[in-house]
Amino acid sequence: MAATVVTLKMRMIPTVYAMASSSPESYFVKKTIASHQTVIFSKSYCAYCEAAKAVFKDLHKVPYVVELDQRDDGSAIQDALSAFVGRHTVPQVLIDGKYISGSDDSIEAYKSGELGKLLGIKE
């Protein structure tokens, strides 16, 4: 059986570090991403979000999770996040200030070992 290689298409989010918008929600997104190695913007009822969070649990890494549906400003934060990552869906996974992906890419990266390498986990 041939091995499958998954390459994450990470990209820095320059707008996080040079924010044009000074809204409280944009500031929250910027501060959250800068303050934590791994951040997942999620909704508590979303199966895709649960799947993305599960790979971090399997790796024994605890991401900082923002449950947008449990915040009064969650919709506005999701809009601000969308301006940064270019997607309005959840989950959105960021590691070391870089946009990683949503659920499917996170799971594939986990299965290939790429996610573990990115998090500094030695095999």
* Residues listed for the chain: 123
Mean pLDDT of 12-19: 45
Percent above pLDDT 90 for the chain: 71
Count Cα atoms within 13 angstroms, Cβ side, for 104. Answer: 1
Q: For 34-67, write each residue's pLDDT tens digit.
A: 999 999 999 999 999 999 999 999 999 999 999 9
> Model pTM?
0.83
Q: Which domains does the chain have, with CATH numbers?
A: 11-118 (3.40.30.10)
9 pLDDT band (50/70/90 cuts)?
low
If you ran DSSP here, which 8-state letter would residue 86 be given?
Answer: S
